[in-house]
């Protein structure tokens, strides 16, 4: 069974993905599919010189990076205040609750709260902060992707908070903090020099992988983001679902580039993780 | 007045009384070894002295009432049974931790940590991470990290409990030498009779939240509950194998 397990994993997990990727590559080079007419680099040239493709790629990377950074900072700050309460079952339940919400539901909730005539706009109008509900600043389909960012953070930081809480316990940080305080560390010193660095080192692999997950997020940017530029997954979906058959190879090129970016990123992360484990934890 | 004065320390967890009015004094440069079984309240007492736990009563150090001070302002370092080295820092940075908190000049940190590493026999391990060290080496780093901040009082909570016999003996000798050389004042709790006798200038026995301090080693040995007399009797009866 020990020998069979890797084979099964290769057959059912790796092979279908690899086959799909190879098919996408062949399609993008004009070697297979409805538009197949022999090898051609034209679709790659078309995609790689298309500004909207690079805008989508950059936008996805920026949203993923900003959301992971802000969620990490928020979760680390909340850890300081919530940790003493986190051992209570009710608090634990409340912390787990947001994880049960699917992204599509979170997107709808954000739509209701952040829309131009949404609940926040009505509250602002009620308190007289704005002249009429429509005067509320756009947070949905906005040019700065604030709606997407806020909703993604809403989904991300509870997960990170729980991750940090679990690692806090596993790393024995309560006792380490007590010891540090007897060495002269103030609460701020303890967070800055001990708790946060230890937690970030321990969770870096998960944070990076979560960034990859956000890089490919679909439902939230589809509902709350702009269509142009769209995040990469929405861009690819647009190309796939358009009636223009000539856009299909472009979608495949974007898919291959997206996969390559993720593979390179994962390889770098694995190398980083390996050296971090060897030298630090 | 003693260097350390503990007055009527009391502590309960829920309804259970753990410390029942502990009072004792300790002169400067002395080590008080407290013997007691697991769960007798030794750790709770040390944590209250260090400021890591709240308790009723008074803790006076050099005639200053420090009962209300947070741990970082007491000048008391607490050493756990586990070495608790900071996992993200190498040996040098673990030892330098307390000095960096005090924002000392880099040259001074380098020189003081370097000298201490030398005296602890760890000069070759300055850049090693804690995971690369043996139990004894970790314990020496832990000591170094505590000693370098020159604490007014050192609290040791069964610090050698997790070590093998040989390493434990070496660490006891090392601590005795350093304590004598640097004039350290310390409270050393243990459940090991031999260790208590070896380490303490003064001896105490803790039971059911009460601490009794003995005037002499003879008084300690004479008290049935310390187990010292039984230990002596055991070794008197012991007959070595004869070929």
Please state which CATH number belongs to domain A59-279: 1.10.3720.10
Query: What are the beta bridge partners of residue B212?
Result: B205
| Domains identified in chain B, total number | 1
Does the residue B178 lie in any domain?
A: no
Q: Which residues of A256-277 are buried (b: 16+ CB within 10 A; e: fewer)?
A: bbbbebeeebeeebeeeeeeee
By the CB < 8 Å criterion, does B132 face chain A? Answer: no
Cα–Cα distance list, B23 to A232, B1, B60 (Å): 70, 13, 11
- Spatial distance between the Cα atoms of A199 and A61, rounded to a whole number of angstroms: 24
SS3 per residue for A213-259:
HHHCCCHHHHHHCCCCCCCHHHHHHHHHHCCCHHHHHHHHHHHHHHH
Is B11's Cβ below 8 Å from some Cβ in A?
no
Q: Parallel, antiparallel, or unpaired for β B16-26 and B4-13?
A: antiparallel
Residue B232 placed within a domain: yes
CATH of the domain at B72: 3.40.50.300
- B139 assigned to some structural domain: no
Pairing mode, strands B76-79 and B153-157: parallel
Cβ–Cβ contact A279 with B under 8 A:
yes
| Helix H or strand E encompassing B10 | strand B4-13
Contact call for B77 and A194, based on CB within 8 A: no
Which of B51, B74, B80 shows the shortest C-beta gap to A175?
B80
Residue B105, in any domain of the structure: no
Question: Does the beta carbon of A178 lie under 8 angstroms from any beta carbon of chain B?
Answer: yes
Q: What is the DSSP string of B83-150?
A: ----TTS-HHHHHHHHHHHTT--HHHHHHHHHHHHHHTT-GGGTT--GGGS-HHHHHHHHHHHHHTT-
Closest CA to B200 of B183, B188, B185, B212: B188
DSSP code of residue A118 = S
- The low-confidence residues of chain A, meaning pLDDT below 50, are 279-281
Asked if residue B137 is part of any domain, the answer here is no
State the residue for tokens 């049935």.
B224
**Residues of chain B below pLDDT 70:** 240-243
Beta bridge partner(s), residue B203:
B33, B214
- Measured between CA atoms, the residue of chain B closest to residue A276 is B88
Contacts of B46 (CB under 8 A, 6+ apart): B78, B155, B157, B187, B189
The answer to whether B184 and B29 have CB atoms below 8 angstroms apart is yes
What pLDDT is attached to residue B242? 55
Confirm or reject contact between B103 and chain A (CB < 8 A): no
- The DSSP string of B152-217 is SEEEEESTTTTS-HHHHHHHHHHHHHHHHHHT--EEEEES-HHHHHHH-SEEEEEETTEEEEESSH
* The pLDDT of residue A220: 94
Subunit contact B78:A182, Cβ cutoff 8 A: yes
CB B52 to CB A194 under 8 A?
no
A69 touches chain B (CB under 8 A): no
CB contact set of B45 (below 8 Å; sequence gap of 6+): B9, B19, B22, B34, B189, B206, B211
- Cα–Cα distance, B219 to B228 (Å, whole number): 10
- In this complex, the residue of A176, A185, A279 whose CB is nearest that of residue B101 is A185
pLDDT of residue A281: 44
Separation between Cα atoms, residue A25 and residue A251, nearest integer Å: 11
User: Across the strands, what pairs with B33?
Assistant: B188, B203
Alpha helices in chain A (DSSP H): 4-9, 15-28, 42-48, 51-86, 89-96, 103-114, 119-126, 146-170, 173-182, 187-189, 196-215, 219-224, 232-241, 248-279
* Six-digit token string for B42: 């030794």
C-alpha distances in angstroms, A60 versus A63, A119, A195, A212?
A: 5, 28, 30, 10
Q: What is the pLDDT of residue B141?
A: 95
The parent domain of residue B48 ranges over 4-82+154-162+187-237
Residue of A178, A184, A281 with shortest CB distance to B102: A184
Q: Which of B59, B86, B127, B145 to mutate to test the interface with A (most CBs of A within 10 A)?
A: B86
Cα-only R_g, chain B: 19
Tokens of A110: 């954000």
All residues of chain A having their beta carbon less than 8 Å from the beta carbon of residue B88 are 194, 197-198, 201, 280-281
Q: What are the residue boundaries of the structural domains of chain A, listed by start?
A: 59-279
Cross-sheet strand order for the sheet of B31-36: B76-79, B153-157, B186-190, B31-36, B202-207, B210-214
B60 sits in the region (left: phi over 0; alpha: psi -120 to 50; else beta) called beta
Q: Which helix (H) or strand (E) segment is B57 a member of?
A: strand B56-61
Tell me how far apart the alpha carbons of residues A233 and A179 are, in angstroms, rounded to a whole number: 48
Contact yes or no for B188/B34 (Cβ under 8 A): yes
List the single residue in A176, A181, A197 with the smallest CB-CB distance to B72.
A181
For residue A116, how many other CB atoms are within 10 A of its CB? 16
Query: Residue B32 domain-assigned?
Result: yes
CB contact under 8 A, B72 and A179: no
Burial B120-157 (b: 16+ CB within 10 A, else e): bebeebbebbbeebeebbbbbbbbbbbbbbebbbbbbb
CA-wise closest residue to B188 among B89, B81, B116: B81
Q: Flag whether B225 is in a domain.
A: yes
Does residue B99 fall inside a structural domain?
no
Q: How far apart are CA B63 and CA B47, in angstroms?
A: 20
Helix axes A146-170, A173-182, angle to 10 degrees: 80
Q: Nearest Cα to B31, choosing from B227, B195, B238?
A: B195
Q: What distance in Å separates the CA atoms of residue A167 and residue A91, rounded to the nearest whole number?
A: 17
d(CA B195, CA B129): 30
Q: Does B98 touch chain A (CB under 8 A)?
A: yes
- B93 — contact with chain A (CB < 8 Å)? no
Q: Is A193's CB within 8 Å of B78's CB? A: no
pTM value is 0.86
């Amino acid at each position: 069974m020990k020998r069979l397990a890797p084979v099964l994993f290769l057959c059912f997990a790796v092979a279908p993905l690899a086959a799909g990727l190879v098919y996408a590559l062949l399609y993008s080079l004009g070697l297979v599919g409805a538009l197949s007419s022999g090898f051609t680099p034209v679709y790659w040239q078309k995609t790689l010189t298309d500004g909207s493709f690079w805008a989508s790629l950059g936008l996805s990377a920026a949203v993923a990076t900003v959301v992971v950074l802000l969620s990490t900072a928020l979760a680390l700050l909340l850890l300081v205040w919530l940790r003493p309460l986190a051992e209570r079952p009710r608090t634990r339940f409340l912390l787990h609750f947001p994880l049960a919400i699917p992204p599509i539901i979170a997107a709808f909730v954000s739509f209701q709260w952040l829309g131009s005539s949404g609940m926040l706009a009505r509250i602002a109008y009620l308190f007289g902060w704005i002249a009429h509900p429509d005067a509320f600043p756009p947070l949905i389909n906005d040019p700065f992707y604030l709606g997407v960012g806020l909703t993604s953070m809403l989904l991300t930081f509870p997960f990170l908070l729980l991750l940090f809480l679990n690692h806090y316990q596993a790393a024995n940080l309560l006792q380490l903090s007590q010891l540090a305080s007897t060495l002269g560390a103030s609460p701020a010193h303890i967070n800055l020099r001990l708790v946060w660095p230890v937690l970030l080192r321990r969770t870096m692999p998960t944070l990076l992988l979560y960034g990859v997950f956000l890089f490919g997020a679909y439902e939230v940017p589809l509902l709350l983001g702009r269509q142009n530029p769209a995040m990469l997954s929405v861009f690819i979906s647009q190309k796939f679902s358009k009636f223009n058959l000539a856009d299909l190879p472009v979608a495949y090129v974007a898919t291959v580039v997206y996969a390559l970016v993720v593979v390179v990123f994962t390889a770098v992360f694995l190398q980083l993780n390996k050296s971090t484990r060897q030298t630090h934890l | 007045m003693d260097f350390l004065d503990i007055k009527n320390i009391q502590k309960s967890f829920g309804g259970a009384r753990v410390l029942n009015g502990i009072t004792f004094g300790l002169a400067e440069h002395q080590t008080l070894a407290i013997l007691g079984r697991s769960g007798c309240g030794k750790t709770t007492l040390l944590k209250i002295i260090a400021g890591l736990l709240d308790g009723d009563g008074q803790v006076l150090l050099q005639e200053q009432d420090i009962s209300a001070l947070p741990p970082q302002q007491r000048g008391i370092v607490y050493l756990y049974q586990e070495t608790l080295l900071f996992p993200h820092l190498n040996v040098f940075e673990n030892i330098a931790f307390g000095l960096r908190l005090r924002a000392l000049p880099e040259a001074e940190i380098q020189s003081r940590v370097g000298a201490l590493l030398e005296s602890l026999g760890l000069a070759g391990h300055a850049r090693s991470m804690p995971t690369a060290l043996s139990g004894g080496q970790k314990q020496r780093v832990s000591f170094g990290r505590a000693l370098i901040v020159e604490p007014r009082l050192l609290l040791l909570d069964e610090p050698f409990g997790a070590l093998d016999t040989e390493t434990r003996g070496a660490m006891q000798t090392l601590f005795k030498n350093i304590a004598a050389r640097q004039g350290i004042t310390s409270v050393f709790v243990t459940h090991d009779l031999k260790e208590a006798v070896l380490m303490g200038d003064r001896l105490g026995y803790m039971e059911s939240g009460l601490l009794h301090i003995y005037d002499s080693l003879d008084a300690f040995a004479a008290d049935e509950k310390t187990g010292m007399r039984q230990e002596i009797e055991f070794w008197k009866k012991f007959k070595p194998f004869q070929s």
